[in-house]
Amino acid sequence: MKTNNVDPSAGAWIETIDKSRLPEHVAIIMDGNGRWAQSQGLPRIIGHQAGIKSVKKITRAANDIGIKALTLYAFSTENWSRPETEITGLMTLLCKFLKIEVESLNKQNVQLRVMGRIHQLPELVQKELALSIEKTAMNSGLILNIALNYSGRADIIDAVSRLAVDIHAGKIQANEINEAVFQGYLSTSDLPEVDLLIRTSGEMRISNFLLWEIAYTEIWLTPVYWPAFNREHFYQALIDYQKRKRRFGGTVAL
């Protein structure tokens, strides 16, 4: 069995985190690539390139500390409205990332997954994704779940559609539907609850991400642009999470 290989540069931060009270599933809206680049007079695509470096850093940081699942919002169903050159640039970067990083993910025992309307992505991207998912499928460390051509609303609609098919096929009756049953039809059905949502770049919105899943998620916002977001910022978010009192609508902190 592979073990997670802790980065020696993890530093003192990792020691200050209570490993018994970690969020099981952290989701991140990786925002600010464009502004990070523009603030330095660089083209937006350089920001996305730098954003990939942060993806690598934060995947390692999450795996090192023992987070079970990390969901990254990489491309939304609304992002198709961006200039074609930026979309092509993003897809090319994604393919490069998969090709170059799959071995490193494997060494780190990270299991890659994707969610979203993958069948609408360019064929080459679909092919690279399938290959990388297959190569890392047996890994038992962090689940790195990349949201691609994803939106919370689209995922709910797709879940409703799958549920309707099952009702039509007689596999489930309408009066048997409850929250747990419905959740089973979402893309995140086999992942732990999203305990912590991080958004970078100072924006304070959800942007159609994980709408069902974040009902009781703790939110941590930072003005730091995604390309500048590093291990220390990530661990700060975990430390802050551990100070929160989660009551889930009740009066007692759990």
Active site residues: 31, 79
Select from 48-56, 122-130, 191-199, 206-214 the region that touches ligand FPP (CB under 6 A). 48-56
Cα–Cα nearest to 86, from 54, 51, 116: 51
Residue 31 touching ligand FPP (CB under 6 A)? yes
Residue 89 touching ligand FPP (CB under 6 A)? no
Q: Please, which of residues 111-140 interact with ligand FPP by CB under 6 A?
A: none
Q: Which two tokens stand for residue 138?
A: 């047996």
Residue 72 touching ligand FPP (CB under 6 A)? yes
* Interface with ligand FPP: number of residues (CB under 6 A): 18
Residue 142 touching ligand FPP (CB under 6 A)? no
Of positions 22, 46, 55, 129, contacts ligand FPP by CB under 6 A: 55
Of positions 23, 51, 116, 141, contacts ligand FPP by CB under 6 A: 51
Residue 94 touching ligand FPP (CB under 6 A)? yes
**Shortest distance, position 48 Cβ to ligand FPP, whole Å:** 5
Instruction: Name the residue nearer to ligand FPP (CB basis): 171 or 205.
Output: 205
Any idea what DSSP says for residue 71?
A: E
Residue 30 touching ligand FPP (CB under 6 A)? yes
Spatial CB neighbours of 13, under 8 Å, sequence gap ≥ 6: 231, 232, 235, 236, 239
Q: Please, which of residues 151-180 interact with ligand FPP by CB under 6 A?
A: none
Cα–Cα nearest to 29, from 66, 60, 58, 63: 58
Query: How many angstroms separate the CA atoms of 233 and 137, rounded?
Result: 29
Cα angle 161-167-168, degrees, rounded to a multiple of 5: 90
Whether 192 contacts 179, CB under 8 Å: no
Spatial CB neighbours of 106, under 8 Å, sequence gap ≥ 6: 135, 136, 139
Query: How many angstroms separate the CA atoms of 35 and 15, rounded?
Result: 33
Residue 102 touching ligand FPP (CB under 6 A)? no
Could you list the residues known to form a binding site for substrate, using ranges: 32-36, 44, 48, 76-78, 80, 82, 199, 205-207
